[in-house]
Every structure is written in C-alpha cells, then in structure tokens.
Amino acid sequence: MKALVIFDSNFGNTKKIAETISKKLDIDTKVLSVSDFNVKELEGIKLLIVGSPVNAWRPTEKILKFLAGLSEGRLKGIKAASFDTKMKSFLSGDASKKISRKLQSIGAEIIIDPQSFIVKGSKGPLFEGEIEKAAEWAASIKNTI
C-alpha cells in the first residue's frame, strides 16, 4: 500500500508529527510539505493523511488552498485521516475536523477520527508525550488499513 502524508508547519511541530506518523505506518509512505505538493503525488496512493497547525481556528491557508484545488471525486477510493497541532485551549479552534470534512466531501473514506496534538504556546515545542501519541494514532491507522 502506498501512502502520502501532506502537512504544513509554521514552527516544525506539525512536521515532527507527520514524520512520526510516516515512520510508524511502516508502509511505502512519502512525507511532503504542502508547499511541495503536485497533483501527480496522488497517483497510486491508497492512504492520504493531511496535517496542519491551527491558525485562526482553522487549517493554514496553504492547506485550505491544497484542499480547494482537489476536484470533487478526486479522492474516491482513497482512505484518509487528518490531524492538527494546537495550543491547549478550548479557544484554539480545530483544523483536523475541518480537514476531515473536506477530504470526505472530495470522496475520501475517513478511517479514523481526526486527532489533535498539543504544543506549548503558539510556537511549541510539542508537549511531552505528543510524539508517542502520534505513534499510537498511526498504529491505529495501520491496524485499520
């Protein structure tokens, strides 16, 4: 199975989570910054994971643009999951659920609940245990596929 983990990262925290997920999936997985995305990257993938920091209560503009650029039905037959990184506050918003809903509307099959990973302050670093939490979440994805 071929997988793609696409992420945006402001301070490196979301990138660390994306890399951890990729390693734990232990399948043919490419980790790619959304800035480097080309639609050809979707060819042949069976699993797509998208991650973003929470910016102004939603995914980053780059992730929103990436999602908006995918035509309806483009992800049909592809399993998907989403995650975000955010501060520990009910006011911080949610990007992962918004990403998940958009992926599903484009035709992806959401295979696991969206997941948030917590950072200390707006720049991080990640709270202790969040990398392990990402590895466990990825293991759950692997068990699902």
Give the mean model confidence (pLDDT) for residues 117-131: 95
Report phi then psi at 65, rounded to 5: -65, -45
CATH of the domain at 98: 3.40.50.360
Residue 111 belongs to domain spanning: 2-144
Q: By percentage, how much of the chain surpasses pLDDT 90?
A: 88
pLDDT digits (tens, 9 = 90+) for 6-54: 999 999 999 999 999 999 998 999 999 999 999 999 999 999 999 999 9
pLDDT digits (tens, 9 = 90+) for 70-96: 998 999 999 999 999 999 887 778 999
pLDDT digits (tens, 9 = 90+) for 51-62: 999 998 899 999
Amino acid (one-letter) located at 96: S
Structural domains counted in the chain: 1
Q: Read off the pTM.
A: 0.96
User: What is the overall mean pLDDT for the chain?
Assistant: 95
Q: 69: buried, middle or exposed (CB in 10 Å: 19+, 13-18, 0-12)?
A: exposed
Q: Cα separation of 101 and 19, whole Å?
A: 23
* Radius of gyration of the chain, Cα coordinates, nearest whole angstrom: 14
